[in-house]
Amino acid sequence: MYYGKIKDWDIADGPGVRVSLFVSGCRNHCPGCFQPDTWDFCYGKPYTDKEEGFIIDAMNHDYIQGFTCLGGEPFEPENQPEVTALLRRIKRTYPGKDVWCYTGYTLERDLLPEEGGRHTPFTEEMLSYIDVLVDGRFVMERKDISLQFRGSRNQRVLHLAKMRKEGKMTAETFEAVWWPVEDRKFQ
């Protein structure tokens, strides 16, 4: 896996102060994407144990609320094994911190069903570590800069932790639960 950047102080991609990783490679190719350089699976630098250690160390502060993985596309099959390993280590090391992830894919269509286009042997475990998933392609015609944590109105901020707890996380029982935001402008 390659990555474009790691932020050890990110206040834009989820609540509070976060550590974030921008992985490389994306086949969504949304028109109007603000970072097309990251579509290339070899964009940036190789992701190694050194980067993983840096992320774990950077999260070891009380002011860090959690971790966000974005891209590029974390759910491309090539990226899922290393992202899963990283999220597993984060959740074991910091069980009280939250994990957010951004994907251009749609949860119930591409990730949950075994025949989903991006479902791999790693997908379920990867999803199990994610508290909030922002899903859906960026759609230029539905761009809205007033939205919190998403770029276009079709995208969703899904509360996966709550969906798992309420049994709404399988392809058969899928029911979207939005992450509650006081001042959200979802409609």
Alpha carbons 54 and 89: distance in angstroms, whole number: 12
Applying CB under 6 A, does 71 fall inside the site for ligand SF4?
yes
Applying CB under 6 A, does 136 fall inside the site for ligand SF4?
no
Binding-site string for ligand SF4 from residue 141 to residue 180, where x marks contact by CB under 6 A and - marks none: ----------------------------------------
Q: Which residues contact 50 (CB under 8 A, 6 or more apart)?
A: none
C-beta closer to ligand SF4: residue 59 or 123: 123
C-beta closer to ligand SF4: residue 73 or 98: 73
Alpha carbons 155 and 62: distance in angstroms, whole number: 30
Applying CB under 6 A, does 72 fall inside the site for ligand SF4?
yes
Q: What is the secondary structure of 114-134 as a DSSP string?
A: TTSTT--TTHHHHHHT-SEEE
Instruction: Considering only the C-alpha atoms of the chain, give the largest distance between any 2 of them, rounded to a whole number of Å.
Output: 42
Length of the chain equals 187
Residue reference for tokens 């079709």? 154
Options 21, 26, 160, 161; binder of ligand SF4; rule CB under 6 A: 26
Q: What is the DSSP letter of 104?
A: S
C-beta closer to ligand SF4: residue 142 or 162: 142
Q: Which residue is nearest to ligand SF4 (CB)?
A: 104
CB of 44 to ligand SF4, least distance (A): 13
Alpha carbons 120 and 141: distance in angstroms, whole number: 31
Q: Which range touches ligand SF4 (CB under 6 A), out of 2-10, 14-22, 30-38, 76-84?
A: 30-38
Binding residues for ligand SF4, total number by CB under 6 A: 13
Applying CB under 6 A, does 43 fall inside the site for ligand SF4?
no
Options 6, 7, 17, 28; binder of ligand SF4; rule CB under 6 A: 28
- Distances in Å between the alpha carbon of 184 and those of 4, 18, 137, 171, 172? 29, 20, 19, 27, 28
Options 83, 104, 120, 132; binder of ligand SF4; rule CB under 6 A: 104
C-beta closer to ligand SF4: residue 38 or 64: 38
Which residues are bridge partners to 20 per DSSP?
7, 68
